[in-house]
Amino acid sequence: MRFSKELKMGIIAIVSIAVLVLGVNFLKGNSFFGGDDVYYAYFSNSTGVTPAASVVVNGVTIGKVLTVELTEEPDSNKRVMISFNIQMDDFKIAKTSRIEVGALDFFTKGMVITPGIDVSKGYYKPGDKIQGESSVDLISQVKSYVEPINQKLQKMMGSVDDFIGSVSAFWDTTANSSLEGSMREVKIAIQRFGSVALEVEDMVKSERLQLHRILANVDQITSNLKLSNEEITAILGNTRKITDDLVTADFKSVVGDAQKTIQSLNAMLKDASEGKGTLGMLLHDQKLYDELVNTNKELQNLVNDLQLHPERYIHFSVLGAKTKGVPLNKSDEKKLRKLLDTIQN
């Protein structure tokens, strides 16, 4: 059976178009014959991942990235949506798995799936939307590590520059003259210290004899104290005995007697204030007080009259003349003289 040239050219064109479509589809990441499971993942940043990038699990490529596009989600973690397929048969993504996009090595970028160990929450189904994570690429990591070092180096260079400027300013003409003056003052100070040291040495030599005498006197004083140790001990013992006697004295009985005396005095003063007893009567009886005052006054007048005119009361007859006045016997005369002596004293 022969085919015409036109038929052959048509068949070749159809086959070429099919191969081209399948090739383009394959280059986009789909399997050659299609039928792969497709999933969607959200990320905050694509980190430079492009379509046809590899989807890797434990270092093995199991799929390809299909599309990378921006979304209108307000959530910053869902700004980029990446669709990818799984070309490996019977591979399921557990809901506890971790999906990251970033650098696979120094030159390529892709998607990394870390399977979850816990499968109790189930698996994602084809067409589900998964929340992923954007890993930091190697350049960003190096930059974040080098940036603090760079800042510290810049600060250190600034400090070194300031130090060099300070040293340069120090060694100018003015600084040289100031340094020379400082060294001269240091030299003068050292000379003065030497003079002071010599004076101290001379003073020690001159006062050595005096120091020796003082130390000898101190030694003698300590020796005397040592010899008088027994006497000092005896004095301290006597002092301790006196204090013990004072402590053991019967202060309680003395205080008790004093309290009794005070109580008796208080009772006597109370009776007197109430008009009891002789003292109370004397304090409260005005008539008795007036009589005592009048009696004392009359007695004082009598004594004064006796002193001025004793002849009115006692008469003596030298020649046997008749006695005038009141006759007194010897007993009455003694009583009267005794009374007069008592009053005068």
> What is the rounded CA–CA span in Å between residue 337 and residue 10?
195
**Residues 114-159: pLDDT tens digits?**
998 888 889 999 989 999 988 766 566 666 667 778 778 788 877 7
pLDDT at 57: 92
Give the pair of three-digit tokens for residue 9: 């050219």
Q: Once rounded to an integer, what is the mean pLDDT over residues 177-187?
A: 73
H-type helices in 207-228, by residue range? 208-227
User: What integer best gives the mean pLDDT of the chain?
Assistant: 75
Tokens 């006054």 appear where?
297
Residue 112: pLDDT band (50, 70, 90) is: very high
pLDDT at 318: 46
Say yes or no to pLDDT of 73 above 70.
yes
Q: Once rounded to an integer, what is the mean pLDDT over residues 56-73?
A: 90
**Residues 80-106: pLDDT tens digits?**
999 999 988 888 899 999 999 988 877
**Residues 3-52: pLDDT tens digits?**
677 777 777 778 777 777 666 665 555 554 556 789 999 998 888 898 88
Say yes or no to pLDDT of 217 above 90.
no
Residues comprising the chain, all counted: 345
> Residue 88: is it exposed, middle or buried by C-beta count within 10 angstroms (0-12/13-18/19+)?
middle
**Residues 288-323: pLDDT tens digits?**
777 777 777 877 777 777 777 666 666 555 444 455
H-type helices in 249-326, by residue range? 251-273, 277-284, 286-308
> What is the rounded CA–CA span in Å between residue 333 and residue 329?
6
Give the residue extent of every domain in the chain. Answer: 1-35, 37-134, 288-339
Among positive and negative, which fits the CA dihedral 13, 19, 23, 29?
Answer: positive
